[in-house]
Chains A and B, each alone.
Chain A
Amino acid sequence: MRRRDFLLAALLAPALAACSRDEDAVRVNLAKREETTLRQQPRAVTYAYLPQYAHTVSYERHRLLLDYLGRATGLTLRQIFPDTFEEHVRMVERAEIDISFSNPFAYIRMARSGARAFARIVEPSGKPDFCSHIICRRDNDALRRLEDCRGKRWMAVDPSSAGGYLYALGEFLDHGIKRRDFAEITFAPGPGGKQEKVVLSVFAGACDIGSVRDGTLDILRGKIDIAQIRVLAKSKSYPGWVYAARAGLAPEITAKVARALFALSIERPNDAAILLTAGMRGVIPATDADYDSVRALAEKLGLDAIEETE
């Protein structure tokens, strides 16, 4: 009899154990509902970085710089993230972006709406100019010279990207290669991270050649085997990225920001961390005239006509 009881208990024990729960549940009433309302953001000086990279990369690059600027200027600065170059330009035009950090082509477009350059960066290379790199796969023996690019598939960063498209396009034109000479010209799918996408497309063989601004390959060095990418040609150098204040921004704000930027020195470790994180070696004063060479290139490329047709 005892043996039978034991057997029954042994059989029932797991079943009984299954009935117990090992964690407590928090009681929640889902029926109690409210419509949510977002609170109004406090007023601040808006700062935007032309979205050549993903927002998080943009945020990461300029987070320390913005913290520094806030501390140095006493202003409340907020970084905002337009999704495309075009939106960036438009937001500057609509005064939604007070301080714009953009490439020269974006600048010359914004300058038309009254934005004015007040500073430009020293590239990580140590020069205040930068160029476009025309890249291909290392094992692509059909591409040896720039002229070999005829009939090939070209992926560029964005139609308005300076280092990622326009400088390279100018270089192709200088070599007598027009846009129609390519089998196709595609642009990296948006938003953000477009420079990297071009490199990845070339690396994957999705296109024959790609154009990125110089320094991009270094960013991807840890992610892909950079040795598989070959730089086919480099364009002429043009002035680098530019800080511009929107039309109508209080000049003292611009001045505060400019001072703070100019005060940064690569020599000081704290400043160096800020500068290198932001992908620059320093910030130097700039004027609108510095970008005339870019305006000339844009004219050569017929950018205005392109913009109108797009």
Chain B
Amino acid sequence: MIPRFSRLSFRTKINCGIVLIVGLIAIPLAYLTWRAAAESLLTETRKRGLVLSENLAMRVSDAMLSMDLLRLKNMVDELKKVDDIVYAFILDRQGNILVHSYTGGFPVELIGANAPANGAPHIRLLDTGRELIDDFAAPVVIVGTPFGTARIGLSRTKAEAAADRLALMIVFYSATAMVAALAPSTLFARRVTERINRLKAHAEEVVKGNLDPRAGPPAARACSDILACDKKLCPAYGDRDRRCWLTASPDQRGEGPESCRDCQVYNEQKGDEIQDLAETFDVMAVSLKTHLDELRRAERVLSRQEQLLRTILDATPDLVCLLDEHLAYLAVNRAFAAFLGLEPAAIVGRTDRELFPADEGEAMHDHNRLVLESARPSDREVFLRRNGSPVWLHVVRVPISDGRGRAMGLLRTARDVTQLKQFQEQLIQSQKMESLGKLAGGVAHEINTPLGVILGYAQLLQEDVPPDGQLHADLQTIEKQAKVCRKIVADLLGFSRQAESAKIEMCFNNSLMEAISLVRHAFSLDKTVVVTDLDERMPIIYGDPEKLKQVWINLLTNGRDAMDGRGGALLVRSRLFTRDQKVTAWFADTGPGIAPENQGRIFDPFFTTKPVGQGTGLGLSVSFGIIKDHGGSITVQSPAPPGFFDAMEPGDAAGPGAVFVVDLPLEHEETIGGPQPADPVEG
């Protein structure tokens, strides 16, 4: 029953309560009133009966003395006219009926039914079968002498009927009052529930996030209007929607809201509890909205900062990750995820053991734990192999601790240092080669003198022996091989820059053409054609013509050798770049090209792809040294850039080819009659 009652609407509950209250008041009240009225009526009836009977007893004295039966009869008959008096009669002192109000005989049983007791009136209830009668027997006493009895019968049934009518009337009025109370209670309940429902709707709006509606009624005048206040900085200034004792700044409120009790504004705008609740709710909504706005702003700032941090982390090529105290990933950057080939979300929560190959993962996990336990940063380089390529990573681990110094995770950054490693190796190799060159140069210089002696004595001996003899032929072989040795020695000397360099102003194109003309015929025998595309402005450079010619011949020969006897084309192109103060020559072949892994090493001394005995591996390194000596540079591109051979005849291009690019600086400014003058030199 109680749960069912709790589901009733508030309005119904109020109505039920009012009906219950009115009922609880009215029913006992009606009962008590009825009882009291009945008692009172009974008492009054008795008093009245006593008064009437005593009055009758007094009034009949004279008539009894004079035996004036007519007057006596009139007296009892007068009483009989009263509605609730059933009878009245007079007895003389002997108990004889003098007069009575009955017609058609007197009910004799009445005579003995009641009598005065000890000279005082006596009341007795009589039951006639049809009704109850209060019989009053008052003695007629004259000068202390009993002269008879005056008897009156009052109908109690009628008196009780009057009381019952009164009770019925009270019940009727109570019911009317109950019905009448329902109307104002319904109005009251509707008023209250309407306001509560409005508050509820407002609360629902707040739950939905809409903090703008107002639950409380707006005031007719703002507090600033009532008090003629000019403090415009006060939050309550001009605000009719909210009450100033809830919103005003503390300096306006004095010692707090309690100080507002005597304020005119408070007394004018103060509402009941529901209005207070609504207004407090409004203030709460506004406060909430303010806090929410602040939170959103803070969230935007945080989001922006997070985005920036994320961008920084994601943009950095370093592999950055954060691990928790159990060494599971908390966050990783995009580079790390790309390194593992996974999405960041797939990494978070997992450990190195799960993400890396068994041997690597275990080692990394152990090292992570070591750093976490020792609470000291670690810095080391790790070698891994990815897709068959070696990868060097520089890994830094930084433990992270909470406010109490307890380790709660670690930050790990790893940088790919493979290229750096290669450079380091190349540097070591270069230093090694430089030492070797110096050694070879020294050896060659020492060998050159005995070799000259061997060559000289071989030539002298030839003069001493017959020209067609076997001895002569052997001497010629010695001479020839000695010359080969001398060339090797000369190359070694050149590589180690110990050869003399004689630089002069020279024509770049002529130098090229001189070398080309030397090899063109020999190359043609190997089905190799040499095509030239030279800058017509005939650039002049400052260089050693012999050494440069050696470079050109080396490059051309290298190109011819690359085609491996199958024939092809060699394209020599020169261009002057006055803006950059350089001249560039391209030596392109249509050979099979150079493998990428070899491109970084072809200028190393003694590096050759040719079979043993066919190359010393010194040609390109010597050429590299000469060009470097001239302040220029030599690089290789393979395959040749597309369209490079467009100037040549179609069909000549047989392979991807390779292009050697030689840049030489223009040592001297010159006017070569070109449309574009040379740019001025800085300084």
B66's contact among A23, A30, A38, A80, by CB below 8 Å, is which? A80
Is the CB of A196 closer than 8 A to any CB of chain B? no
Which residues of B sit under 8 angstroms from A25, Cβ to Cβ?
125-127, 132
Partner of A29, one of B27, B65, B129: B129
Interface members, chain B 50-64 (any A CB < 8 Å): 61-62
| Cβ–Cβ contact A83 & B143, under 8 A | no
Q: Is B124 an interface residue (CB 8 A)?
A: yes
- Proximity string of chain B (1-37) to chain A, C-beta cutoff 8 Å, 1 when within and 0 when not: 0000000000000000000000000011001100100
A35 an interface residue at 8 Å Cβ cutoff? yes
Please give the distance in Å from A140's CB to the nearest CB on chain B: 32
- What is the CA–CA distance of A69 and B145 in the complex, to the nearest angstrom? 18
Q: Which of A11, A26, A35 contacts B125 (CB 8 A)?
A: A26
Interface residue A147 (Cβ < 8 Å from any Cβ of B) = no
- Nearest Cβ in chain B — how far from A281, in angstroms? 21
Say yes or no: B98 contacts A29, CB within 8 Å.
no
Interface string of B166-177 (1 = CB under 8 A from A): 000000000000
Distance of A55 Cα from B63 Cα, bound (Å) = 8
Determine if A128 is an interface residue (Cβ-Cβ < 8 Å).
Answer: no
Q: Which of B66, B102, B107 has the most CB of A within 10 A?
A: B66
Q: Whole-angstrom distance between the alpha carbons of A36 and B102 in the complex? A: 11
Known A-B contacts A18-B35, A32-B108, A34-B108; A56 and B113 likewise in contact (beta carbons under 8 Å):
no
Which A residues lie within 8 Å of B96 (CB)? 36, 38-39
Q: Is the CB of A81 within 8 A of B66?
A: yes
With a cutoff of 8 Å between Cβ atoms, the chain A residues found around residue B129 in the complex are 27, 29
A39 touches B66 (CB 8 A): no
Q: Is A39 in contact with B113, judged by CB distance below 8 angstroms?
A: no
Residue numbers in A under 8 Å from B109 (CB-CB): 28-30, 32
- Asked, given contacts A36-B100, A38-B96, A191-B62, whether A26 binds B124 with beta carbons under 8 Å apart, the answer is yes
Q: Is the interface of B mostly helix, strand, loop or mixed?
A: mixed
- Please give, as numbers and ranges, the residues of chain A lying within 8 Å of B124 by CB-CB distance: 26
Contacts of B68 in A (CB 8 A): 83
Contact between A26 and B113, CB atoms less than 8 A apart: yes
Q: How far is the CA of A39 from the CA of B133 in the complex (A)?
A: 29
Asked whether any CB of chain B lies closer than 8 Å to the CB of A1, the reply is no
Question: A53-96, CB under 8 A of B: which get 1 and which 0?
Answer: 01110111001000000000000000111110000000000000
Known: A36-B100, A39-B94, A55-B65. A63 touches B143 (CB 8 A): yes
Given A38-B98, A63-B145, A83-B68, A28–B110 Cβ distance below 8 Å?
Answer: yes
Per-residue B-contact encoding for A1-42, CB less than 8 Å = 1, 0 else = 000000000010011001000011111111111111011000
A229 to B128 Cα, complex, angstroms: 56
The reply to whether A60 and B143 contact each other, CB–CB distance below 8 Å, is yes
- Judge if B142 is at the interface, Cβ distance under 8 Å: yes
A56 touches B65 (CB 8 A): yes
Chain A residue at minimal CB-CB distance from B97: A36
B106 within 8 A of A: yes
* Residue B596 at the chain A interface, CB threshold 8 Å: no
Contact A28 B66 (CB under 8 A): no
Select B128's contact among A29, A36, A55, beta carbons within 8 Å: A29
Name the residue of chain A whose CB is nearest to the CB of B107. Answer: A30
Q: Does B104 count as interface, using CB distance less than 8 angstroms?
A: yes
How far apart are the CA atoms of A110 and B398 in the complex, in Å? Answer: 159
Minimal Cβ-Cβ distance residue in A for B124 = A26
Chain A residues contacting B132 (CB-CB under 8 Å) are 25
Interface residues of B in 366-391 (CB under 8 A from A): none
B673 within 8 A of A: no
Cross-chain contact B113 with A55 (CB below 8 angstroms): no
Which chain A residue has the least Cβ–Cβ distance from B125?
A25
For the complex, is A163 an interface residue (Cβ under 8 Å from B)? no
Query: Across the interface, do B143 and A59 meet the contact criterion of CB distance under 8 Å?
Result: yes
How far is it, in angstroms, between the C-alpha of A248 and the C-alpha of B62 when the chains are bound?
A: 29
Q: Which residue of B lies closest to A191 (CB)?
A: B62
The smallest beta-carbon distance between B640 and chain A, in angstroms, is 109
The answer for the CA separation of A26 and B123 in the assembled complex, in Å, is 11
Q: How distant is the Cα of A30 from the Cα of B67 in the complex, in angstroms? A: 27
Q: A58 to B102: give the CA distance in the assembly, Å.
A: 32
Q: In the complex, which of the residues B106, B126, B133, B143 contacts A36, with contact meaning CB atoms closer than 8 Å?
A: B106
Q: Determine the chain B residues whose CB is within 8 A of the CB of A56 once the complex forms.
A: 61-62, 65, 142-143
Which of B61, B105, B106, B113 has a CB less than 8 Å from the CB of A28? B113
Q: A39-B94, A191-B62 are in contact. Are A29 and B107 (CB under 8 A)?
A: yes
Q: How far is the CA of A168 from the CA of B53 in the complex (A)?
A: 42
Interface membership of A240, Cβ < 8 A: no
| Interface status of A192 (Cβ within 8 A of chain B) | yes
Which chain B residue lies CB-closest to A277? B143
> Which A residues lie within 8 Å of B62 (CB)?
54-56, 81, 191-192
Q: How far is the CA of A11 from the CA of B23 in the complex (A)?
A: 12
Q: In the complex, how many angstroms separate the beta carbon of B249 from the nearest chain A beta carbon?
A: 55
Cβ-neighbour of B126 out of A26, A33, A35, A59 (below 8 A): A26
The reply to whether B125 and A24 form a contact with Cβ atoms under 8 Å apart is: yes
B107 near A32 (CB under 8 angstroms)?
yes
**Closest-CB distance, A113 to chain B (whole angstroms):** 21
B28 to chain A, nearest CB (A): 8
Chain B residue contacts of A28, Cβ below 8 A: 107, 109-110, 113, 126-128, 133
Q: Do A31 and B107 touch (CB < 8 A)?
A: yes
Residues of the A chain whose Cβ atoms lie less than 8 Å from the Cβ of B126: 25-28
Give the residues from 124 to 151 in chain B that come closer than 8 angstroms, CB to CB, to chain A. Answer: 124-129, 132-133, 142-143, 145
Q: Who on chain B is nearest to A48 by CB?
A: B66
Q: In the complex, A192→B427 CA distance in Å?
A: 168
List, in ascending order, chain B residues with CB within 8 A of A31's CB: 107
- Determine if A55 and B66 form an interchain contact, defined as CB atoms under 8 angstroms apart: yes
B65 touches A34 (CB 8 A): no
Specify which chain B residues have a CB less than 8 angstroms from the CB of A34 in the assembled complex. 105-106, 108
Are B61 and A55 in contact (CB-based, < 8 A)?
yes
* CB closest chain-B residue, reference A58: B65
Give A27 to B110 CA distance when docked, in angstroms: 10
Contacts of B35 in A (CB 8 A): 14, 18
State the CA gap A305–B214 with chains docked (Å). Answer: 111
Collect the chain B residues with CB atoms within 8 Å of residue A27's CB.
Answer: 126-127, 129
Q: Which residues of B contact A24 (CB under 8 A)?
A: 125
Report the separation of the CA atoms of residues A58 and B65 in the bound assembly, to the nearest whole angstrom.
10
Distance, CA A36 to CA B106, complexed state (A): 7
Q: In the complex, which of the residues A15, A35, A82, A83 contacts B106, with contact meaning CB atoms closer than 8 Å?
A: A35
- With most chain B CB atoms within 10 A of its CB, the pick from A30, A33, A58 is A30
Q: In the complex, what distance in Å separates the CA atom of A255 from the CA atom of B520?
A: 219
Residues A30 and B128 in contact in the complex (CB < 8 Å), given A80-B66, A83-B68: yes
Give the complex CA separation of A250 and B125 in angstroms: 53
Q: Known contacts A36-B106, A56-B61; is A14 also within 8 Å of B127 by CB?
A: no
**B104 nearest in chain A by CB position:** A33
- A36 vs B100: C-alpha distance when bound (angstroms): 9
Question: Does A33 contact B61, Cβ atoms closer than 8 Å?
Answer: no
Nearest opposing residue in chain A for B102, CB measure: A33
Nearest CB of chain B from residue A61's CB, rounded to whole Å: 9
Closest residue of B by beta carbon distance from A79: B65
Q: How far is the CB of B151 from chain A (nearest CB, A)?
A: 12
Q: Is A82 a contact of B66 with CB atoms below 8 Å?
A: yes
Chain A positions 172 through 208: 1 when the CB is less than 8 Å from some CB of chain B, otherwise 0? 0000000000000000000110000000000000000
Q: What are 21 A-B contacts with C-beta separation under 8 Å?
A: A11-B27, A18-B31, A18-B35, A27-B127, A27-B129, A30-B109, A32-B107, A32-B109, A33-B102, A33-B106, A34-B106, A34-B108, A36-B96, A36-B106, A55-B65, A55-B66, A56-B65, A56-B143, A83-B66, A83-B68, A192-B62
10 A-B pairs closest in CB distance: A33-B105, A25-B127, A81-B66, A55-B62, A36-B97, A55-B65, A60-B143, A81-B65, A25-B125, A30-B107
B contacts, CB < 8 Å to A: 27-28, 31-32, 35, 61-62, 65-68, 94, 96-98, 100, 102, 104-110, 113-114, 124-129, 132-133, 142-143, 145
- What 19 new A-B contacts, CB under 8 Å, besides A27-B129, A59-B142? A11-B27, A14-B31, A14-B32, A18-B35, A26-B125, A28-B109, A28-B127, A29-B128, A32-B108, A33-B107, A36-B106, A39-B96, A55-B61, A55-B65, A63-B145, A80-B67, A81-B62, A82-B66, A83-B66
